[in-house]
Structure 1
Amino acid sequence: MTDQDLFHLLALQQVEGVGDIVAKKLITHCGNAVEVFKTKSSQLASIDGIGSVLLKNLKDKTVFEKAEQELKFIKSNEIDVAYFQDENYPDRLKHCIDGPVLLFTSGNIDLKNKKIISIVGTRKITSYGMEFCRKLIEDLAPLDPVIVSGFAYGVDIFAHQLAMEHDLQTIGVVAHGLNQIYPKDHKKYVAKVEKNGGFMTEFWSTSNPEKENFVRRNRIVAGMTEATIVIESADRGGSLITANIANDYNRDVFAVPGRTTDKYSQGCNNLIKTQKANLLTSAADLVYILNWDIESKAKPVQKQLFVVLENDEQKVYDYLLKNGKELLDIIALRCDFPIYKISGMLLNMELKGVIRPLPGKLFEAI
């Protein structure tokens, strides 16, 4: 994308009445943003949804002044820009009709051939949520996923921190321009996040973290990822909005169940109850439902002569070796382990290459 293209795209964004959907219509019809401003009104009027008011607004020259200022900011701060038709734009977000025309990024973001998931939840994460999130990312780490979240208090920042602890790429999608950080308390994490991933936003440097921006931000979190995971949530909250958007985009949604009396499990329990989310008890559930290829990550047991199994893992392995293919629930019952524990254990054993998953939540020893 040339500077001229970017300049006209920025100008188009400033035209009153032009949002992402309308901008894409105009660009598709004209070929690019430069041509949008050159094309005669009579020709633009033939586009569905383009009326006289919008055609008049396209003649407003002040949009170029604003675009020039923002372009200076982008260049002077070495901001990377992803255009919705370019290769560096998140692939899944390209399929969202209301995805941003432009994304501004900083850091070292690389989304090529990556498993990308978002982890969201309450800003008042509990010890239960922390422990689950910690175990989840620890178990997923060998698969090298990209962890996306909103860089907010609670679940968001905790997920970012855990991702960095395991040297995973993490992306903070923010609801303001890249000239600031919200919340300010999280400035201390910026350098490390940019080293391990980076920040992404659709908002200009003139945009502050207004309430409505967070809802718009959530569609990027949901749209660019393969699945959205809700760790904890009250019966209302931004993470539930993200989950609903993910459902609208036909993305997989997962929710961590909790006790019915726990305030910050109500939202997750309701998502599961209304079949808007898959029940998530361990990383193994996620890997199974998303059909991630684990076997390619694990060495075959025949070649790995000295596999070290924990005592509990050895018990499960011996059972499968003796009984053959078996359902997860039956393994838990026969080996006397709770479901949440057996799920994580089976994933670890898969990664060690001593068992493999089969359709229908069956497992067998290799």
Structure 2
Amino acid sequence: MNLVILINLLNVPKIGQQRIRLLVSYLGLDINPFELSIKELCTVNGIDKKSAEQIKKYSDFDFGIRELETTIQKGISIVSFWDDHYPMLLKKIYSPPVILYWKGQPLQYKEDAVAVVGTRRFTPYGKSVTQKLTSDLVSKNISIVSGLARGIDT
């Protein structure tokens, strides 16, 4: 499954990381879920009719293409969970992000790294604490790993 498709799927309401992994697990990487019928999508465990309708509704590839182009123009690299360059240790957590974005040197295993995860709806206090915590970690040369989903970790 290419990055444009994954970017589009991540922007479909109610279709999160787990459902995307279910889609890939069931369909494989070569099948585009946006090209399937609602009936075909509903055969995937975890995809109900409402989820399938959402997928069909958000099949605008222009968004994913623009997002990918903007990311590349800004010097940001992207790797998907199914790419060889995806960090092996990150694959072992409960719900690893399906896409990682990073700026700078290519991802390498580093002992001093922290993954930041959290809620999509955060309080001003939560935002302040997260910014302070991550700034302090970066100042100590500790890498911050984020899936860059909408939320506290972005």
Instruction: Give the equivalent residue in structure 2 for 1:171.
Output: 143
**CA 1:34–1:46: 2 relative to 1, 3 Å:** closer
Instruction: Give the equivalent residue in structure 2 for 1:68.
Output: 65
Instruction: Give the equivalent residue in structure 2 for 1:152.
Output: 131
Deviations, residues 108-139 of structure 1 (Å, cap 9, x unaligned) = 14424x4344399xxxxxxxxxxxxxxxxxxx
Instruction: Give the equivalent residue in structure 1 for 2:111.
Output: 115
- Counterpart AA for 1:171: S
> Is the 1:82–1:89 contact (alpha carbons within 8 Å) kept by the matching residues of 2?
yes
Instruction: Give the equivalent residue in structure 2 for 1:161.
Output: 139
Using CA pairs below 8 Å that are at least 6 residues apart, which structure has the higher relative contact order?
2
Residue 42 of structure 1 and its aligned partner are, at CA, apart by 2.7
Residue 22 of structure 1 and its aligned partner are, at CA, apart by 0.3
- Counterpart AA for 1:65: D
Q: Give the superposed CA RMSD.
A: 3.0
Q: Aligned with 2:143: secondary structure? A: strand
Q: Aligned with 1:152: secondary structure? A: helix
**CA 1:77–1:33: 2 relative to 1, 3 Å:** farther
**CA 1:160–1:28: 2 relative to 1, 3 Å:** same
Q: Aligned with 2:131: secondary structure? A: coil
Q: 1:40 and 1:29 mapped to 2: Cα distance?
A: 15
Q: 2:144 and 2:27 mapped to 1: Cα distance?
A: 34
**CA 1:8–1:156: 2 relative to 1, 3 Å:** closer
TM-score of the pair, normalised by structure 2: 0.74
Deviations, residues 29-76 of structure 1 (Å, cap 9, x unaligned) = 111275222334333222222111111112115642321221221121
In structure 2, list runs of 5 or more residues that go unmatched: 117-128
**CA 1:76–1:25: 2 relative to 1, 3 Å:** same
Q: Aligned with 2:71: secondary structure? A: helix
Instruction: Give the equivalent residue in structure 2 for 1:202.
Output: 148
Q: 1:119 and 1:62 mapped to 2: Cα distance?
A: 30
**CA 1:69–1:39: 2 relative to 1, 3 Å:** same
In structure 1, list runs of 5 or more residues that go unmatched: 121-149, 164-169, 174-199, 208-212, 219-366
- Listed as ranges, the matches of 1:197-346 within 5 Å are 200-203=146-149, 213-214=151-152, 217=153
4+ residue stretches of structure 1 with deviation over 4 A? Answer: none
- Counterpart AA for 1:43: E
> Is the 1:79–1:104 contact (alpha carbons within 8 Å) kept by the matching residues of 2?
yes
